[in-house]
Amino acid sequence: MRDVVSSDLGEKIPEVMGRERCRLARELHDHVGSGLSVAVRRLELHDAFRQIDPERADAHLLAARQELLRLLGSISDLITDLRDTPRSISLAREIGAFATSRDGPHEDGQPAVHVHIAGDESCLPVPVRYEFYLIVRECLRNVFRHAWASHVAIDVRVAAGTVRAVIKDDGIGFDCAEVIRQGRADGLLSMKERLEILHGGWDLRSVPSLGTRVEVWVPVPSDRHRDAA
């Protein structure tokens, strides 16, 4: 019996440790990495507008400082409590705010962003709504960092039984298999892990030089299951 127990623990401990490492990596990527990216972008916009629009440049500098201060708090939270507690948010407000944080001169490579959200967000349990926002945000991060797009459209629809988002851009596209082979797929893996946790799915279609379309969906618990959540 002792040998059986030892064998079982020997199999489960590495699995649990592996999941914990993945979770920690995901939290650092989604929260700290995203915040640093926003702060750096704000500093770039400060430099871009410093000569032509000093007032707007100062606003971006202030936003960068505020984001870095927020990150200090986030890092402190991660140290004391590795599990981030889902918070109640508005998809429309949070997605719109993240898109706005990437505004800038079109020639600087930032796309024009159009956000459309339909349906009643209140039917989404707080954890589902928060995780779904992180998934959509990761799509946008990939567009802003890699796509070199002129336009990106985000269409989120909350309907009976499902919340769904389609993110389309007219950027350079990419070869998914090649990105994974080169080890540059952290963002995609983060999205995949979150969707698996929520029992959701996705469809990613990208063609080099023709842009990318990502569709993600997550089931919405019924009233009976939502009360439990």
For 11-21, the pLDDT digits (tens) are 543 554 455 56
For 127-171, the pLDDT digits (tens) are 889 889 989 988 988 888 788 899 999 999 999 889 999 999 999
In this prediction, residue 87 has a pLDDT band, given cuts at 50, 70 and 90, of: low
CB 199 within 8 A of CB 219: yes
pLDDT for res 205: 92
pTM for this structure? 0.63
Q: What tokens appear for 213 in the block?
A: 């379309």
